[in-house]
Amino acid sequence: MFKLKALTSAAFVATCMTGMFILEAQAQGRPSTLGMSCSQAQSLVRSRGAIVLSTGGHTYDRFVSSRRFCAPDEDEIPTWAPTRDTAQCLVGSRCEPSRSRRFDR
């Protein structure tokens, strides 16, 4: 009886710990440009190559450091975002459908 109780307690603790890790991971969210300086945001995009960043309360964008992170039928478009120290910081680029292919249908 004692072994069963100890095993049940250990399983309960393990389940609680797993739940805490999952909640912590969900609470982290995506990085926000508003909490970074312009140079920090630019550096983060350069180091990751492609990353989704929050740019305001309920807004976000995917920033890329070069066209190689875009699909073959997309163009790289320079993209600005607000940061802690700059209202319009050139954080990186965004991938958009190629203008030359938009009307090819």
Q: Which two tokens stand for residue 95?
A: 């991938």
Rounded distance, CA 89 to CA 40, Å? 11
Q: Which two tokens stand for residue 60?
A: 């976000």
Sorting pLDDT into bands at 50, 70 and 90, what band is 100?
confident
Average pLDDT over residues 63-69: 97
pLDDT computed for residue 28 by the predictor: 58
pLDDT in tens, 14-59: 555 555 544 444 445 899 999 999 999 999 999 999 999 999 989 9
pLDDT computed for residue 27 by the predictor: 47
Domain positions in the chain are 1-30, 33-100
Q: 51 pairs with which residues across the strands? A: 63
- Whether the model pTM is above 0.75: no
pLDDT computed for residue 11 by the predictor: 60
